[in-house]
Amino acid sequence: MLSDSVGSAAPHSQRLATACQRIGNGPAVVLVHGVGMDHSFWKPQVASLSPSYSVIAYDLLGHGASPLPGDPATLAEFSEHLIALLDALAIRTAHLVGHSMGALVVLETALSFPDRVASVTALNAVYCRSAAHRAAIIQRAHDLVLDDAMIEATIARWFGSPIAPEQQHAAAEARALLQRVDPTGYRRTYRLFAIADTAHVGRLPTLKPPALFLTGELDPNSTPEMSRAMARIVPNGRAVIVPQARHMMSMTAPEEVNRLILEFLDACEATAAVAAPRAAQHGR
């Protein structure tokens, strides 16, 4: 099933229109992309997950065909936008999978609306950047101009320089998405991303759903230590580092990333199936 857009009533009575794609049957899995991308970023994951799950990929606020976030943007409105999408699709609970900025959104949603979230998979998430990294990204956000030079610098951070021959196609796809992103939406979202690495400090120990933190061994900005640090303080968290992978590993190493996501989702579903009869017996 393919839905080009969904209208829904968000909290605070704000009307939101969301561009999304829904494919497959089974438990719901929502895919949340990062800054500068759109729902098509998830093509390899949609193909892999949809035989077993109902997979929803949508455009973040300020991206694709979705409306702009506020100025300044907040994680709360991105989270509310996701919950509004679930409401519009009549989905009570869903597994959430987010990449980079999308990882921050799914963590915020799980912390704010725990009863709506079956599990969290955070790919290439940022957490407590070093002082040098934080200063660098804040400076980039301040100076942001969406031109060819900035796009090429972004592609180099994501894929390395020079780009490996086997990753040229993925880099070209990412470049094309950056070239057509709405400049205002990109700017507002990136400025939020630049300061949101500490948004969940002190809150992650209260995260209720099971959580998988995945990042690449060679990701210089969403580092392995960040994922390990989050997994250590989440009650039911686990970190897995993908060898030789960088920031866009869902595009460049989709087989391994998809395998890890599927294993985690299947394990969560199996655990939930065992727990459900027990909960029913206790409720009698």
pLDDT of 9 strictly over 80: no
Q: What is the pLDDT of residue 19?
A: 83
pLDDT of 5 strictly over 80: no
Structure tokens at 219: 């990701």
Pairing relation of β-strands 54-58 and 20-23? Answer: antiparallel
pLDDT of 14 strictly over 80: no
Q: What is the pLDDT of residue 281?
A: 54
CA distances to 92, 104, 197, 242 from 248, in Å:
30, 16, 18, 11
Q: What is the pLDDT of residue 3?
A: 41
* Domain boundaries defined on the chain: 6-282
Q: What is the mean pLDDT of residues 78-85?
A: 97
**What's the predicted TM-score (pTM) here?**
0.92
> Which residues form the catalytic set?
100, 124, 247
- C-beta separation of 37 from 179 below 8 A: no
Strand boundaries in 135-218, DSSP class E: 211-216
pLDDT band at 10 (very low <50, low <70, confident <90, very high): very low
Tell me the sheet residues that pair with 7: 17
SS3 95: strand
Domain 6-282's class?
alpha beta
Q: What is the pLDDT of residue 282?
A: 53
- Mean confidence (pLDDT) of the chain: 92
**Model confidence pLDDT, tens digit, residues 198-244:** 999 999 999 999 999 999 999 999 999 999 999 999 999 999 999 99
Q: What is the pLDDT of residue 278?
A: 58
Radius of gyration of the chain (CA): 18
**Model confidence pLDDT, tens digit, residues 17-28:** 788 999 999 999
SS3 104: helix
- Report residue 241: phi and psi, to 5°: -105, 125
**Model confidence pLDDT, tens digit, residues 141-170:** 999 999 999 999 999 999 999 999 999 999
Q: Identify the residue with better confidence: 14 or 60.
A: 60
Q: What is the mean pLDDT of residues 31-51?
A: 98
CA distances to 67, 128, 130, 141, 228 from 70, in Å:
10, 24, 27, 16, 32
Distance CA 93, CA 29 (A): 9
SS3 120: strand
